[in-house]
Structure 1
Amino acid sequence: MAGRLAIDFGHTYTVAAYWRQATRQAETLYVPAITRPVRAGPGSGGTTVYAAPSLILYDQASEACWIGQEAAEKLRGAVDARPVYSQLKLDVITGKRIFGPAGSRWLCCQDMARDYLAAVICRAGQVLGLSSEAVITFTVPAEACQAETGWQRYGHWLKGAVKQAGFTRLEMVEHPWAAAWGAGLYVKPGDRFIVIDLEAELAEVAVAQAGQEADGNKERRLRVLSHVRDWLIEPEPGQDQELVIHTQLEHILRQALRQTAGRGYDGDGYAGVVLTGSGGLPALYKQAVHTFFAGIPVYDQCLLSAAACGAASLAAGIDACGYIRYNYGVRYWEPGQYRYQPVAARGTFYPSAGPVAELVIKASYDGQQEYALFIYRLGVEAGYCINGENPLILRTDQPALSGQPVIRATLSIDGAGQLSVTACDAGSGQIIAAAVPVVKLM
């Protein structure tokens, strides 16, 4: 089995998904021993999703651990009070360092979460037969998307889990964007939408927009305009369940909308509302969301799988409108050092309206007729070539002299997020390549 792996690390469940090329769709991945089949909930057509409970249990006498379904089964009938850890994602997001016994050691919950996620990555990678160079895609919680510091901190933690699992490469996509895509809401530039995540008695609401940066930067990217997290209190016996649930949710939703209004955005013009969370979500919660957002489309058919499958779809490059999350460039040699010329800027929406860059390629040595186009990711991972195994080779009819301008090229980004090149001979004007895909950008 092969395909790009995407993982949505949740409070209650963690879902791994992959892109199945044969069916041209994303599917949740069954990982033996750690995932369980979870019914997607009322109104979803009885779909079953494979998910791993977000639990980790450490052996008391060693450093071994069990995760997901195997941890849950270990606890059944256990007579000792061994600690099982859950809600680990919350500690990673908030940065809290609370320590607890992990077998013969004491670990903070962030380290336990890393152990958990690393084990999920490792086992899911084995099921798909991935090499250590495979790119793993992760969703980033809305709260970590509000500021660059949160994004970088969460990314640093993810890199630790990926490395521990034996892999080297990762991509990150905002949870709201992935959830919207996986649920069927195809976000366009300028769209505002709401993602409501309900799981483990915890409610999170994020209002997001694909639009201009607030500081006037011309880069366009997904912005989280507001984020609210609060606990849901289960109605007590004798209370009106519908009234309690509606009142709690309405309070949280209004708080998120007030935050958005405080930033200068009115309450109208939402493209849709996406509902995600545990598969066993009571129907009353869905009803409350539909009632509150009457007149706005509510996407609630893929509660548990939306974010993971959306991330897998985005990683496969099948979205018709997205944006680039990293800066990219080509590398060239100047006397004494390599330099990079930018070709695609972070925040650029695709498909691009026209060329995003123009290049003049010069010969490196006398007699050269073949020119390899290598694309590099710039910034934090400067110098990382993303198409080293399969560069685009441009060929000319005539050999050139060293330093001679040989090829003129324009680069654009198509609807699948692929960088494509159109090139012509600098001397004769003969077309060498016409809108040829080079590599998928993220």
Structure 2
Amino acid sequence: MSRPPKAVNYDLTAILGLDELEVIRYEDGQYIAMNADHEVPKCIYCGGDTRNHDTRTRSFYDCIKDEEGEPQFIYLTYEQYMYQCLNTDCHSLFPRKIDFARGNSKLTKRLEEMIVHYGMFLSYGDIKCKFENKISRTTVKETISNWTKRHDEDRGAFYTPEILCIISFETTKVNYILIADGVDENKCILDVLPDIGSGQVMSILSRFDKSKIKRVVVDVNPTIVDTIRDQLPGVEIQVHTSALLLCAKKEFELLINSEGPHLYKVDRQSLLKSPQELATLEGSSNEVKWLNDQITYENNRISHITGTKPRIGAAYENMINLYKVLSTDSDYTNLKKWEDTVSIVCPEDFELTIAYIEHYMEELLNFYLRRTKVTMEIYNELVILNNIIDEFKAYSADVLRSKILYQVEPLLAEVDGKTLWRGVPLEKVLDITKKLLNEWRRRR
């Protein structure tokens, strides 16, 4: 049995572009639509026959795309049919199920997806303007938050890698922790914690089978190290040497800004380069002479600055020595000698770095002795991701998590008949995040 059809405006139906709906008319700025399936359904409770009972009107916020692919906000009025079961033992009343919106939401799914898409590179206020101020900033925020929560729930149980990487980062907007697989060649990101606290670390550890974790690679954040020591007794902790180097680099940058406030930006950047970066410049084969001249010029500028500013010169020499000590072909026992020297020559310039070496010497040595290709590479690639994230000037914790975890296809693992969340490949996350950043720059 089917319900009597109404006159359908096929041109408007094509513009609306929702397969399950047919547009009857356009009136007072609203698309008036009904379900395209005219068949009367079976009872959703007992499976018996039903009849048309009446209709109820539901209003939705929706969007379509114009000829240039830009979103155009619309109002959608849906005439939803109600059906009554003919079975005298049931006699239930129910509405036709819809797929274009969720439950009692007033937003269509495609509008939600569009809001989330723009949320990856626009602020809440900018998204509100994008839709002609017809949806509130609060609606935008709640839509992205709910979208993120749904995806969080869909992940289910986590796969436990033998080597777990727990690295903290700071941006101009938020501080957060990245959880990554230190074994998989894909260097998968397992989770993003939108805060740096012991509670966050304890919460994420509860999602893993702790008995399977053999080693944990961390940065020099005391909160993380102390929590791991407390929660995973007996598990080897490895402090990533690149994290120590980054700490020293930040302290050196502060010194440069203090002692050389009038230095050119390019000179500051040169001073902060590693020996390897100073020795290599990218260019084509026919630019070899020019590149060599550039390297020579850059080194001459560094020599001039370090020669005329003794404090910067001494700190620069210590930075170069630290690079050498932490390189894989160096005698790692020289790290203690470096600490002893700097503690005498310029302790105030590398105060944090010295403290971290004193507190984490064993953990730094653990990393050096048992480093792998994945654990060597993953920290530096996560730093690159953080630098990209930091360029976005407006985002929330939900946007941060969505941007990293839910923009690419995840990897799954089958263990004992269960499908486990294995995370998202870092390389693909870097790729999509760069594209989002380019989109953000284009729309500024």
- The TM-score bracket by the shorter chain reads under 0.3
Could you say which structure has the higher helix fraction? 2
Q: Which has the larger radius of gyration?
A: 2
Query: Scaled by the length of structure 2, what TM-score is found?
Result: 0.22
> TM-score, normalising length from structure 1?
0.22
Structure (1 or 2) with the greater strand fraction: 1
